[in-house]
């Protein structure tokens, strides 16, 4: 549960190195991974746990898990993070790919994606933009039919690090990876060193927006793998500090994600984009977050437990990180019957920590739900259409 504001032993901010001594959120004993594929409830209950303690940097607005234990993290092919089975997400991804292809003029050029996942977005980008691609990710898995080798794209199944600083690309792409990195300044510095004197190269990053998480008290968007949390301003400040000129900064996907375009610069550049000026707002949000998030947690606990006590079958729609955080933070067990997911690779598996089954939408026909909680409101219409197709009429709400 959330903690009251408390003083900590000062720690150095992973972004700006300023001393940090304010904790804004703490959850004890949560799974260290939420997208791992687990074959039994027993495995799920036994999955490793650690504490999460979010600290806020007053100097730059960066938020990080000061209790993060990097030694226990291990990404492998037994992970499933893809959102590309959703028509809503696919429509967004295709539009973003077209935007990147146009802004970075990738036609006939080479794209390097750090943290490419299963490679779906990189292939979409390279095919639509007429480019070649190289992806790096330790969790890449060559699944037949999902990421068959079409397009001029190659994949390295490994972590990105100094061993790959010799690679060259016209555009470096990194989507939903920086939040998994604890030493963020070193990571960005390595990319800047890799680009070197090639001043026309692009660096395009997409990262969850921590400002939205604070505004909405969205505790389900806080989980162990995400050790680093950026507002748009904190994101841009880091890149300017490490030798990039941030040329464009935008919020996408219902303002859930930050997309940042940057190019190498000779020295540190000054902020000039509207979204960069958020430090004062982040201070206010961090100050009030502990009380606000506690109220939101109490609301969902009471609502779900009341539904269960009334004999209503409750399911979550979405079996990924948000569901795992929601279930473990609220310490929910039998009150939730299952998590529904359209990703076939998740179906038949179990949620880390709580051991809830992850089922296909069609499985609801055998046990119709009374209350469906959608773990991302952007999917409300898609979920409603799926339930109508199954001739099911439960109450549907979103977090």
In percent, the amount of the chain with pLDDT more than 70 equals: 96
Considering only CA atoms, which of 377, 375, 337, 343 is closest in space to residue 357?
337
Cα–Cα distances (Å) from 169 to 104, 106, 161, 174, in that order, read 12, 10, 15, 13
**Number of domains making up the chain:** 1
Does residue 18 lie within any of the structural domains?
no
Cα–Cα distances (Å) from 264 to 99, 269, 309, in that order, read 20, 10, 58
Does residue 261 lie within any of the structural domains?
yes
Does residue 310 lie within any of the structural domains?
no
Tens-digit pLDDT profile for residues 295-327: 999 999 999 999 999 999 999 999 999 999 999
Does residue 118 lie within any of the structural domains?
yes
Tens-digit pLDDT profile for residues 163-207: 999 999 999 999 999 999 999 999 999 999 999 999 999 999 999
Does residue 177 lie within any of the structural domains?
yes
Does residue 337 lie within any of the structural domains?
no
Question: What's 143's DSSP letter?
Answer: -
What's the domain range around 225? 87-280
Q: How far apart are CA 5 and CA 8, in angstroms?
A: 10
Q: Which residues pair with 134 in a beta bridge?
A: 112, 154
Does residue 349 lie within any of the structural domains?
no
The CATH number of the domain holding residue 104 is: 3.40.50.150
Average pLDDT, the chain: 94
Does residue 120 lie within any of the structural domains?
yes
Close Cβ partners of 169 (under 8 Å, ≥ 6 residues apart) = 110, 111, 112, 134, 201
């Amino acid at each position: 549960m959330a903690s009251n504001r408390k003083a900590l032993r000062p720690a150095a901010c992973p972004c700006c190195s300023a001393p940090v001594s304010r904790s804004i959120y703490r959850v004890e004993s949560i799974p260290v991974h939420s997208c791992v594929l687990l074959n039994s409830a027993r495995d799920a209950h036994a999955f490793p746990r650690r504490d999460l303690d979010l600290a806020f940097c007053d100097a730059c607005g960066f938020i990080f898990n000061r209790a993060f234990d990097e030694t226990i993290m291990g990404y492998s092919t037994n992970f499933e993070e893809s959102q590309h089975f959703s028509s809503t997400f696919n429509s967004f991804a295709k539009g973003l790919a077209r935007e990147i292809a146009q802004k970075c003029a990738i036609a006939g050029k080479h794209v390097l994606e750090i943290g490419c996942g299963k490679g779906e977005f990189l292939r979409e980008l390279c095919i639509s933009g007429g480019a070649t691609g190289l992806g790096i990710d330790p969790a890449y898995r060559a699944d037949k039919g999902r990421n068959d080798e079409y397009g001029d794209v190659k994949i390295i199944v490994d972590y990105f690090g100094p061993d790959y600083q010799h690679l060259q690309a016209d555009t470096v792409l990194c989507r939903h990876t920086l939040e998994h990195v604890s030493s963020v300044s070193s990571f960005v510095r390595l990319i800047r060193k890799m680009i070197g004197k090639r001043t026309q190269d692009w660096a395009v990053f997409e990262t969850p927006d921590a400002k939205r998480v604070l505004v909405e008290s969205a505790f389900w968007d806080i989980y162990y793998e995400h050790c680093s949390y950026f507002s748009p301003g904190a994101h841009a400040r880091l890149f300017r500090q490490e030798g990039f000129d941030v040329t464009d900064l935008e919020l996408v996907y219902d303002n859930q994600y930050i997309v940042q375009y940057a190019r190498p610069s000779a020295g540190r550049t000054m902020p000039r984009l509207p979204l960069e000026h958020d430090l004062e707002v982040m201070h206010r949000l961090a100050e009030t977050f502990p009380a606000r998030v506690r109220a939101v947690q109490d609301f969902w606990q009471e609502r779900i437990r009341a539904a269960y006590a009334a004999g209503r079958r409750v399911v979550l729609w979405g079996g990924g990180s948000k569901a795992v955080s929601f279930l473990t933070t609220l310490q929910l067990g039998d009150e939730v019957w299952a998590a529904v997911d359209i990703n076939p690779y998740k179906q038949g598996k179990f949620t880390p920590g709580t051991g809830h089954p992850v089922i296909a939408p069609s499985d609801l026909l055998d046990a119709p739900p009374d209350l469906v909680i959608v773990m991302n409101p952007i999917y409300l219409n898609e979920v409603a259409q799926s339930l109508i197709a199954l001739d099911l009429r439960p109450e549907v709400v979103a977090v």
